[in-house]
Amino acid sequence: MKISIIVPVYNVEQYLAECLESLVSQDMSDYEIICIEDCSEDNSMSILKEYARKYSNIKIIRHTTNKGLSAARNSGIKAARGEYLQFVDSDDMLVKGACKKLYNNAKKSDADIVYFNMEFLNDTDKFLIRHEESNIDYVGQYTGRQLFCLYEKNNNHKTESVRQFIKREFVINNHLQFHEGIIHEDVLFYFLAAMKANTVIDINTSLYIYRQREDSIMWSQRDKTSGSLKVCIMNMCAYWLNDESFSDDENEIIGKYIKGIYDIYKQYKHYGNEINECNMFGNRKEKIIQNIFLDKCDEVIYLSKDIIDKLQHNEKNIIYGAGKMATILYDYLYQNNVKIHNIVVTNKKRNHQTLAGIRVDEINELNENNDAIFIIGTDTKFQSEIEIELRNRGYKNIIKPSICQKRG
């Protein structure tokens, strides 16, 4: 199977047939179309079934509850069999011949990611931008970091996941997923994929027709923007802090990129003053982070690369805590491909019953040997007290993460 086209579907009966027509008419063979029906309340499912009867390469996955765009895409990734993945929103379209052009270019360079351009359409089928062409031709092959930095220098980021033709093996090996429960999930996915990609190319051609609708996710859930952008920023900073291989130039560019997203976040939060220009201090990224996060409630967790490597190879990693810091810690470990075996607290009645879908247990219920590694997910002021409690219970492998907090 050459390509898996992944299409999340939710309440798009007005546009779905047009989307599917653009997919089934691609001039190549050996590709599948995976449609994830996310509990639509309109006629979307009937349209999908009609097309699935006509075309054997259409596969329907139906969620039993509405889980959102990220979860739908993740379901598609799990079901995909293609060598490459192409995400398509169900109110958009692929240009005829897009799949063949993308696949041939990807195979020619053995690219992890192929970036490309889009055309923009409004609700009345009027083209806002007919052929999006860059004044800069990014000829040749790059690492993901290199092209990310070039995009940032030229203010030309291609953040949307629908314009990233991406190798499935690369996604699986790097544990790339869309962060569930947020909007603007593309911001985080784009950043992490670019940071991890060995070979990427840009073909300066418009192959995707993007429909801008006033009732789309982008426009209808503006109230969720600030919280979602915060999640993206925290996870990008967590990854950035933990990787010591960035050059000074890369640190400067990435710092400015994250700062730009943070400025948007602040606009939605209605913060008053702009933060100061983000000064760079070589590889001392903790200071950059401190300059970015100047409001009162943001923390960034940091673990050294050696500790992350140790946790990645350990089967029994246990988070102690179930509050705000434990949630931030879980997200940080998740983005660094660390699996969590248990989440524990001293008293369940005072805490949430689950964290990220994992049941929270009382430490008295735990029956683990000394191979378990505890990572303390609480405010710094409680870490020493918890460490003593764990050592008194016979546990020796205890990690107290560093927490970068704002000044002032």
Integer Cα distance of 230 and 228 in angstroms: 5
User: pLDDT (tens digit, 0 to 9) for every residue of the chain, 408 residues total?
Assistant: 999 999 999 999 999 999 999 999 999 989 999 999 999 999 999 999 999 999 999 999 999 999 999 999 999 999 999 999 999 999 999 999 999 999 999 999 999 999 999 988 876 666 665 555 666 778 899 999 999 999 988 888 889 999 999 999 999 999 999 998 888 899 999 999 999 999 999 998 999 999 876 655 444 455 577 778 888 888 888 788 778 888 888 888 888 888 888 877 776 664 333 333 333 333 445 555 555 544 434 566 778 778 888 998 898 999 999 887 888 888 788 777 888 988 999 887 776 677 777 888 888 888 766 679 999 998 888 888 899 988 888 888 999 887 665 433
Q: Which of 173, 199, 219 is the last residue of a domain?
A: 219
- Tokens at 143, concatenated: 């690492």
Kindly state whether residues 192 and 286 are assigned to the same domain: no
Report how far apart, in Å, the C-alpha atoms of 343 and of each of 175, 233, 310, 326, 360 are: 21, 24, 18, 9, 5
Kindly state whether residues 261 and 401 are assigned to the same domain: no
Q: Please name the residues in contact with 391: beta carbons below 8 A apart, sequence gap of 6 or more.
A: 398
Rounded to the nearest angstrom, the gap between the alpha carbon of residue 41 and the centroid of all alpha carbons in its chain is: 27
Kindly state whether residues 65 and 131 are assigned to the same domain: yes
Kindly state whether residues 250 and 373 are assigned to the same domain: no
Q: What is the pLDDT of residues 315-352, one digit of tens each?
A: 899 999 988 788 888 878 877 788 898 899 988 777 66
- The number of domains in the chain is 3
The DSSP secondary structure of 5-74, one letter per residue, reads EEEEESS-TTTHHHHHHHHHT-S-SSEEEEEEE---SSSHHHHHHHHHHH-TTEEEEE-SS---HHHHHH
Integer Cα distance of 163 and 226 in angstroms: 24
Kindly state whether residues 341 and 394 are assigned to the same domain: yes
- Tokens at 292, concatenated: 């970015």
Kindly state whether residues 107 and 180 are assigned to the same domain: yes
Angle at 19 between CA 208 and CA 89, to 5 degrees: 65
Kindly state whether residues 161 and 273 are assigned to the same domain: no
Q: Residue holding tokens 């960035």? A: 246
Check: CB of residue 180 under 8 Å from CB of residue 188.
no
How confident is the model at residue 329, as a pLDDT?
86
For the chain, the C-alpha Rg in angstroms (whole number) is 23
Integer Cα distance of 321 and 323 in angstroms: 6
Check: CB of residue 355 under 8 Å from CB of residue 323.
no
Q: Which of 235, 266, 295 is the last residue of a domain?
A: 295
336-346 burial, b for 16+ CB within 10 Å, e for fewer?
bebebebbbbe
Kindly state whether residues 108 and 197 are assigned to the same domain: yes
Kindly state whether residues 8 and 135 are assigned to the same domain: yes
Integer Cα distance of 295 and 172 in angstroms: 36
Nearest Cα residue to 332 out of 239, 395, 243, 405: 239
Integer Cα distance of 393 and 387 in angstroms: 10
Residue 70 structural domain: 3-219
Integer Cα distance of 213 and 125 in angstroms: 10
How confident is the model at residue 263, as a pLDDT?
76
Kindly state whether residues 172 and 202 are assigned to the same domain: yes
How confident is the model at residue 251, as a pLDDT?
86
Q: Please name the residues in contact with 21: beta carbons below 8 A apart, sequence gap of 6 or more.
A: 93
pTM (two decimals): 0.73
What is the CATH number for 178? Answer: 3.90.550.10
What is the CATH number for 364? Answer: 3.40.50.720
How confident is the model at residue 402, as a pLDDT?
75
Kindly state whether residues 123 and 253 are assigned to the same domain: no
Integer Cα distance of 45 and 17 in angstroms: 11
Q: Which of 295, 323, 340 is the last residue of a domain?
A: 295
Integer Cα distance of 283 and 65 in angstroms: 45
Instruction: Looking at 137-247, list the stretches that DSSP marks H as alpha helix, in order from N- to C-terminal side.
Output: 144-153, 168-173, 185-196, 217-220, 225-242
How confident is the model at residue 347, as a pLDDT?
82
Kindly state whether residues 263 and 380 are assigned to the same domain: no
